[in-house]
Copies of this chain bind each other. A is one copy, B any other.
Amino acid sequence: MTDGHLDVVGIGNAIVDVLAQADDGFLSKHDLPKGGMTLIDENQAEALYGKMGPGVECSGGSAANTVAGVAALGGRAGFVGKVRDDQLGTVFAHDLRALGVEFDTLPADDGASTARCLVLVTPDAQRTMSTYLGACVSLGPDDVDDRQVARAQVTYLEGYLWDPAQAKQAFRKAMTVAHDAGRKVALSLSDPFCVDRYREEFVELAEHQVDILFANEAEITSLYQAADFDEALQHVRGHCEIAVLTRGDKGSVVVSGDELHVIDPEPLSNLVDTTGAGDLFAAGFLAGLTQGRDLHDCGRMGSIAAAEVISHFGARPEADLKALMADKLGS
A interface residue numbers (CB < 8 A to B): 18, 20-21, 49-50, 52-59, 68, 86-88, 91, 94-96, 98-99, 113-114, 313-314, 316, 318
Contact = CB atoms under 8 A, between A and B. Distances in A.
Nearest to A320: B21
A57 B54 contact: no
A95 B54 contact: yes
Contact of A88 (B87, B94, B316): B87
B95 A55 contact: yes
A314 B94 contact: no
Nearest to A89: B87
A128 to B, nearest CB: 17
Q: Is the interface of A mostly helix, strand, loop or mixed?
A: mixed
A212 to B, nearest CB: 26
Contacts of A86: 86-87
Contact of A87 (B53, B58, B113, B316): B113
19 contacts: A18-B91, A21-B318, A50-B94, A52-B94, A53-B98, A53-B99, A54-B68, A54-B98, A54-B316, A55-B95, A55-B98, A56-B57, A57-B57, A57-B58, A86-B86, A86-B87, A87-B87, A87-B114, A313-B318
A53 B95 CA distance: 7
A8 B87 CA distance: 31
Contacts of A88: 87
B113 A54 contact: no
Contact of A49 (B20, B94, B99, B114): B94
A99 B57 contact: no
A50 B91 CA distance: 10
A307 B227 CA distance: 49
A58 B59 contact: no
A314 B316 CA distance: 16
- Listed from nearest, the 3 A-B pairs whose CB atoms lie closest are A57-B57, A54-B95, A87-B87
Contacts of A313: 318
Given A54-B94, A55-B94, A87-B113, 4 more contacts: A50-B94, A55-B98, A56-B57, A313-B318
A269 to B, nearest CB: 11
